[in-house]
Chain A
Amino acid sequence: MATVAENFSLRPNHKKKFRAPVVKEIMKKVLQQKLDGQEYHPDNVTNYTKEIADTICARLKEVGWDRYKYIVQVVIGEQRGEGLKMGCRCFWDSDTDSYAEEMYTSKQLFCVATVYGIYHY
C-alpha cells in the first residue's frame, strides 16, 4: 500500500471513504457476468466462488480508495428450497469502516457476496 509522506491524517477524506452503493454496483455486475445462465455442478462451482471473490477484489483495488483493506466473501448454494441465514457482527470504527452485500438468485443457484472495507490507520 502506497504511503504519502506529506499526509499525516489518521482518517480518510470523506470523498475517499468506503461507499457501500459503489461497491454494491461492482458486485452486481460481477455476479451477473459470471453467473448468468450457469447451473449448479459441484465441480465448477468451486471455481466460480474463487473466481468471483478474486474478480471483486481486483475491481475494488481499481476504485482507488487509499489505505483500505478488503475482505470479500462469496457463498454459492444450490436452489433446493432449503433455508439459509447469514449474520455478522463487527467490532470496528464505524466512521471509516463499512460493508456492502449483494445477492444473486436464479432457478438453479443463489449467490451471496459480502465485502468488508476496513481502514488501516
Chain B
Amino acid sequence: MAQEDIPERIPTFEEEVSPILKEVVDSVIGPNTTYNHSKVGVWVNQIVEGCMKEIRALPMPRKYIVNCTILQQNGAGLHAATSCFWDNEADTSCTCTRSYKTLVVITTVYGLQL
C-alpha cells in the first residue's frame, strides 16, 4: 500500500478556474486603467479570449461558456441574476468580480459536462 497509489485530491472547478480569471483580468486591465469607450470592446475580447484559451486546456472534458461584463463606475447600480436548468452535480459555474477606480469587471465561466 504505497503512498504513491493514492490519487491526489481532484481540484474543484472553482479552484481550477478562479486563479485563471483573476490573472487574465489583471493582465488586461491594470489598476490605473481608466474607462475608455472606444477600448472597452477590445478589452472584453481580450479577457474572454485569454480566459477561454487557458480554460480549454483543463483536463476534464466539458463545454464552456465564458462571459465578461465591463461596467463604467459612475454611481449607477447594477444587478445580475442567473437561473440554470441543468444537472446540479455535473455542471458548475464560477464568477470573479474585480473593481477598479473607474470600472468594474465581472467574469463568469460555466462548465457543462458532456
Q: How far is the CA of A85 from the CA of B42 in the complex (A)?
A: 10
Tell me the A38-93 residues at the B interface (CB within 8 Å).
40, 42, 45-46, 48-50, 52-54, 56-57, 60-61, 69-93
Q: Does A104 contact B (CB under 8 A)?
A: no
Q: How far is the CA of A70 from the CA of B51 in the complex (A)?
A: 22
Closest to A77 in B: B78
A117–chain B nearest beta-carbon distance, Å? 10
B77-A77 in contact (CB<8A): yes
User: What chain B residues lie within 8 Å of A97 (beta carbons)?
Assistant: 63
Closest to B67 in A: A88
User: What chain A residues lie within 8 Å of B68 (beta carbons)?
Assistant: 86-88
User: What chain A residues lie within 8 Å of B56 (beta carbons)?
Assistant: 91
Closest to A97 in B: B63
Q: Does B41 contact A (CB under 8 A)?
A: yes
Given contacts A71-B82, A74-B82, A89-B48, contact A116 B70 (CB under 8 A): no
B77-A87 in contact (CB<8A): no
B44-A86 in contact (CB<8A): yes
Q: How far is the CA of A70 from the CA of B87 in the complex (A)?
A: 10
A10–chain B nearest beta-carbon distance, Å? 11
Q: Which of B47, B70, B81 contacts A84 (CB 8 A)?
A: B70
A118-B71 in contact (CB<8A): no
Q: Does A8 contact B (CB under 8 A)?
A: no
Tell me the B69-89 residues at the A interface (CB within 8 Å).
69-87
Q: Which of B35, B41, B65 contacts A90 (CB 8 A)?
A: B65
Q: How far is the CA of A41 from the CA of B84 in the complex (A)?
A: 25
A53-B76 in contact (CB<8A): no
Q: Which of B37, B65, B79, B93 contacts A76 (CB 8 A)?
A: B79
User: What chain B residues lie within 8 Å of A74 (beta carbons)?
Assistant: 80-83
Residues of B bordering A, CB below 8 Å: 35, 37, 40-41, 43-45, 47-49, 51-52, 55-56, 63-87, 91, 93, 108, 110, 112, 114
Q: A80-B75, A83-B40, A86-B44 are in contact. List 5 more A-B contacts (CB 8 A).
A: A71-B65, A75-B78, A89-B49, A90-B63, A90-B64
